[in-house]
Amino acid sequence: MSVNLQTPIDYLKGVGPNRAELLRKELGIHTYQDLINLFPNRYIDRTKYYKINQIEQNSSEIQIIGVITNLQEVSQKRGKRLVATFKDDTETMELVWFRGIKWIKESIKLNTPYVIFGRTNWFNGIYNMPHPEMELQQEHDKSLRTAMQAVYPSTENLSNKGITNRVVSKIMQQLFLETKAKFEETLPTELLNSQGLISKSEALLNIHFPKNQNLLSRAEFRLKFEELFYIQLQLILKNIIHKNRIKGHPFTQVGNYFNDFFQHHLPFELTNAQKRVIKEIRKDLGSNAQMNRLLQGDVGSGKTIVAFMSMLMALDNGFQACLMAPTEILSVQHYNGLSDWCKKLNIRISLLTGSTKTSDRKIIHEQLENGQLQILVGTHALLEDKVQFNNLGFAIVDEQHRFGVAQRAKLWKKGPSRSVQEDRDNKPSTPPHILIMTATPIPRTLAMSVYGDLDLSVIDELPAGRKPIKTVHRFDNNRLKVFKFLKDEIAIGRQVYVVYPLIQESAKMDYKDLMDGYESISREFPMPQYQISIVHGQMKPADKDYEMQRFIKGETQIMVATTVIEVGVNVPNASVMVIESAERFGLSQLHQLRGRVGRGAEQSYCILMTSHKLSNDSKTRLETMCRTNDGFEIAEVDLKLRGPGDMMGTQQSGVLQLKIADIIKDQDLLKHARFCAHQILKDDPALKKSEHYPILKTYRALSKYKNIWNYIS
């Protein structure tokens, strides 16, 4: 009879209720399955045994055979320590414990051979080993031992309660005894053969008890491939199911609005990338499925015009469109940009944000419901229940990582109103087509894992005539030269941003930094010759807007601000961006800020100011910024520095809690696993073929338990 891997961990011999509770709490191990998927962090060569007189003062991890001849408790400033005298046939050393003293004292057998393992210290002319791993030699010789010993993830609490690496290793051995080291295969034979993968059972045995380095490498490769393969399979299937099940409004015609704009009002020649993306969107909108597309484009690559032309397709087919942005500044900017084009085409457009007056709201709600209002731009305010569209067919979400899942779901439900009969039959309304835009370039590997269920469009070229921004790094002691450069730029009619960092935890400190900076700039650029705007998060929206408008109109030459201007300010005449304390910013934030300049035809500059004290990560960030303007290259470096969880923010990082694969180190394997999943689903989308049964069975288990890895074995 095979062991059920969903058996609670309490039932495994050697665990019991107390240890089970600790394993659940500290490592999330609830079942046999969870234990099998507790993969080692690293491995130690345990083939060599040292003599005490061979120890050197380099504090490495070693193992020694000897006996404990004496135990004593020694008082110290805080509590006590337990000291044991440990001997072999060459010399004597000490073993020391600062925690768990009572339990250790009771369990130690004097004058009985032990194998001890740990890191040595040299103290008061004698070697000691704090908190060694210990095993009676008799037990040690019997255990399922291999040359490479696994070291498992642990916590301080586990160590304190006596659940050492040796204990975890022992209960792992017990699990392999109970299961007879036989585990159900989760990949089809043809895939194992074509990819040169070892079996599931062989991989699990050699990840926990590797016979040699070669088998360990093959075990890691097999398990990483499997983990990435099933993540990709789930995402691709989600996309296929979405397209088959969720119907969208077919936009069958490209009509007057689109053609009129394209032929008579296009402000500039579209780039090839923009044309390609519009074609991809057009194809989606013409099918019967609901579009779910991610549009990536670097700062200033012209995503807005693509979004507008996509909206025109909705209007041509008799539907309304909306655009939702995360901040008021950004939604106002979108509204202003789109309004100019809408006027030329006689399209009715409105703006709805938190600060829209009640009287204006009433008019917007009425015109939305009766269909007079064709495009609505706004913030989260669009999601309010009172906001009812007549027939919303197309919705754009800008910088969607700033919105929660529940908020996006609300937008979905704002499709055309259902009939009473449809409501009675509980039929879902047809959702609007969704276009998600982001100016935060997402590395290809991350996009595959987080947005792998969306179709992806990328605008990867800048509009003609744009000059790349020159970026330089300057230390604080070069400040006078930087000021001289700013004066030269202002003298030829340009404008300048000076940005200070914003760190939420210390709003006071930031405010002080900003005010100090403002004062020193005011001294260097005195009135009436120079005019300065100041913008920060603690100002009232009306004051902030007033200062922004002065800068936009060119009434002020310098804008001193915190990162509130990271997104959403478009002043083509601003040609210099000075970022103060640049080492305190993340790479993607530096790149976003730099994108505020370089919007006109003139040469633009970004100056990164820092002190001389820089960490290695800060140096890498600054060097990357000076070397390249390519947002995707910057995003790759950012991913390596920060890791996937941090980059995506908490809402998105859950999908990336991988057990064994590493999205950064295993990029090539991720792409390959996605390719293999694609090929199988292309050939057999419903996984009905008998040879694909292992995949179907595993996929069903994954879907059932909603945990990528938990039920793969």
Q: Is a pLDDT exceeding 60 seen at residue 103? A: yes
Q: How confident is the model at residue 174 (pLDDT cuts 50, 70, 90)?
A: very high
Q: State the pLDDT at residue 450.
A: 66
| DSSP run (H or E) holding 435 | strand 433-438
Q: State the pLDDT at residue 5.
A: 86
What pLDDT digit, counting tens, does each position of 257-308 carry?
A: 999 999 999 888 899 999 999 999 999 998 888 898 889 887 778 889 999 9
Q: How confident is the model at residue 1 (pLDDT cuts 50, 70, 90)?
A: very low
Q: Is a pLDDT exceeding 80 seen at residue 541? A: no
Q: Is a pLDDT exceeding 50 seen at residue 707? A: no
Q: State the pLDDT at residue 145.
A: 62
SS (H, E, C) 18-81: HHHHHHHHHHCCCEHHHHHCCCCCEEEECCCCECHHHCCCCCCEEEEEEEEEEEEEEECCCCEE
Q: Is a pLDDT exceeding 60 seen at residue 376? A: yes
Q: Is a pLDDT exceeding 90 seen at residue 688? A: yes
Give the chain's domains with CATH numbers: 47-144 (2.40.50.140), 189-245+661-705 (no CATH), 256-459 (3.40.50.300), 470-628 (3.40.50.300)
Contacts of 625 (CB under 8 A, 6+ apart): 471, 473, 582, 587, 590, 591, 594, 606, 608, 634
Q: Is a pLDDT exceeding 70 seen at residue 705? A: no
Q: State the pLDDT at residue 59.
A: 61
Tell me the average pLDDT across 510-516. Answer: 70
What pLDDT digit, counting tens, does each position of 586-605 carry?
A: 888 898 889 888 877 789 99
Tokens of 590: 């530096």
Q: How confident is the model at residue 579 (pLDDT cuts 50, 70, 90)?
A: very high
Q: Which residue has the higher pLDDT, 100 or 197?
A: 197
Q: State the pLDDT at residue 301.
A: 81
Q: Is a pLDDT exceeding 50 seen at residue 509? A: yes
521: nearest Cα among 433, 580, 594? 580
Q: State the pLDDT at residue 514.
A: 78
> Does a cis peptide bond (omega within 30 degrees of 0) precede residue 528?
yes
452 vs 239: CA distance, rounded Å: 8
Q: How confident is the model at residue 124 (pLDDT cuts 50, 70, 90)?
A: confident
Helices 693-705 and 213-245 meet at what angle, rounded to 10? 80
Q: State the pLDDT at residue 202.
A: 94
Q: Which residue has the higher pLDDT, 595 or 677?
A: 677
Q: What percent of the chain has pLDDT over 90?
A: 45
Contacts of 693 (CB under 8 A, 6+ apart): 188, 687
Q: How confident is the model at residue 407 (pLDDT cuts 50, 70, 90)?
A: low
53: nearest Cα among 87, 85, 91? 91
What pLDDT digit, counting tens, does each position of 17-66 carry?
A: 999 999 999 998 999 999 999 999 888 877 788 899 888 876 668 889 99
CB 224 within 8 A of CB 661: yes
Range from 51-55, 374-378, 453-457, 493-497 carrying the lowest mean pLDDT: 453-457
Tokens of 463: 């509009």
- 84: phi then psi, degrees, rounded to nearest 5: -115, 145
CB 304 within 8 A of CB 337: yes
Average pLDDT, the chain: 85
Q: Is a pLDDT exceeding 90 seen at residue 164? A: no
Q: Is a pLDDT exceeding 60 seen at residue 167? A: yes
**Which residue is listed with tokens 């990840």?**
207
Q: State the pLDDT at residue 237.
A: 87
DSSP state of 584: G
Q: How far is CA 312 from the centre of its chain?
A: 33
What pLDDT digit, counting tens, does each position of 471-485 carry?
A: 999 998 999 999 999
Between the two ends of the chain, the Cα-to-Cα distance in Å is 17
Q: What percent of the chain has pLDDT over 70?
A: 88
Q: State the pLDDT at residue 401.
A: 58
Range from 259-263, 437-441, 543-547, 581-585 carrying the lowest mean pLDDT: 437-441
What pLDDT digit, counting tens, does each position of 598-649 carry?
A: 877 789 999 999 988 888 889 999 999 999 988 878 887 887 787 655 444 4
Tell me the average pLDDT across 100-106. Answer: 88
Q: Is a pLDDT exceeding 90 seen at residue 239? A: no
Q: Is a pLDDT exceeding 70 seen at residue 650? A: no
| DSSP run (H or E) holding 349 | strand 349-352
Tokens of 338: 């789109």
